[in-house]
């Protein structure tokens, strides 16, 4: 949860603007490039409602401040610092993505929204799916699908490891969403190679996802798996 006393975003003349701390999330956030890694006190109902409202206000404030800082950087031609700010924003809680989309487009920074979507493609598997869900719930299903496609563009072995991690955590819905996007975006041969980290678990999941696309896609994957040496 974003802290209420987080400092406003500013754009000093020689430094990248500091963004508010991202809200805590379940799972691990690995550094860019190392892709796809990972009890609150009880409160009464009377306190829960104001707290939820406060969080929404704080999130909107932080997003607006970040977009204003980005607009200043673009106006001053400080593209490197603007990109660094977008990379940081991509690591924010998935629930903020619809707010970011709205504010960036309202400020005439639609190209920066596309950059942020690209950067978000490196999020760990669970957060990738959560970001896609948040965008879909806000009526931006196309953006959600774009994040998933970009997220499945990494090496097949990394996809397999990511799926195994989600399975181990019992996150079966996320597994289905991720593999559905994966078998649609990648060739059957690439999908087959992603089974290598754990064929006994991954082969049935891949085939189930391919069946959800079409019978033809499933049989293409069966053939590719057999060629790769995996019983299917």
Tens digits of residue pLDDT in 117-149: 999 999 999 999 999 999 999 999 999 999 999
- The lowest-confidence range among 44-53, 126-135, 172-181 is 44-53
23 lies in some domain:
no
- Whether 116 and 68 map to the same domain: the answer is yes
E strand or H helix that includes residue 62: helix 45-75
Decide if 140 contacts 99 (C-beta within 8 A). Answer: no
165 lies in some domain:
yes
- Whether 176 and 222 map to the same domain: the answer is yes
4 lies in some domain:
no
Predicted pLDDT of residue 37: 40
Helices H / strands E in the chain, number of each: 11, 0
Q: For all residues of the chain together, what is the average pLDDT?
A: 82
Predicted pLDDT of residue 217: 97
Count of alpha carbons within 13 angstroms of residue 220, beta-carbon side: 16
36: alpha, beta or left, given left = phi > 0 and alpha = psi -120 to 50? left
Rounded (5°) CA angle 59-122-163: 110
- Residue 223, number of CB atoms within 10 A of its CB: 14
Domain range for 103 is 51-124
Total count of domains within the chain: 2
Decide if 89 contacts 21 (C-beta within 8 A). Answer: no
- Note the pTM of the prediction, 2 decimals: 0.70
Report residue 56's pLDDT band, with 50, 70 and 90 as the boundaries. Answer: confident
117 lies in some domain:
yes
Decide if 117 contacts 146 (C-beta within 8 A). Answer: yes
Rounded (5°) CA angle 201-204-206: 100
**What's the average model confidence in pLDDT over 161-172?**
95
Distance of CA 159 to the CA centre of its chain: 14
């Amino acid at each position: 949860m974003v802290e209420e006393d987080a400092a406003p975003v500013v754009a000093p003349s020689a430094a990248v603007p500091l963004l508010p701390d991202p809200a805590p999330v379940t799972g691990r956030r690995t550094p860019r490039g190392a892709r796809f890694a990972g009890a609150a006190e009880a409160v009464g109902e009377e306190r829960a409602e104001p707290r939820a409202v406060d969080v929404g206000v704080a999130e909107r404030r932080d997003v607006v401040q970040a977009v204003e800082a980005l607009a200043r950087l673009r106006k001053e031609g400080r593209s490197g610092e603007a990109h660094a700010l977008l990379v940081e924003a991509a690591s924010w809680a998935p629930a903020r993505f619809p707010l970011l989309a709205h504010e960036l487009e309202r400020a005439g920074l639609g190209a920066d929204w596309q950059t942020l979507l690209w950067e978000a493609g490196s999020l760990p598997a669970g957060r990738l799916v959560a970001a896609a869900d948040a965008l879909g719930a806000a009526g931006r299903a196309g953006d959600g699908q774009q994040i998933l496609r970009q997220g499945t563009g990494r090496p097949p072995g990394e996809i397999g490891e990511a799926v195994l991690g989600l399975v181990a955590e019992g996150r079966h819905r996320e597994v289905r969403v991720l593999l559905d996007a994966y078998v649609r975006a990648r060739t059957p041969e690439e999908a087959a190679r992603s089974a290598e980290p754990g064929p006994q678990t991954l082969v049935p999941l891949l085939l189930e996802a391919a069946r959800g696309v079409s019978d033809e896609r499933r049989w293409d994957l069966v053939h590719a798996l057999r060629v790769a040496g995996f019983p299917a």
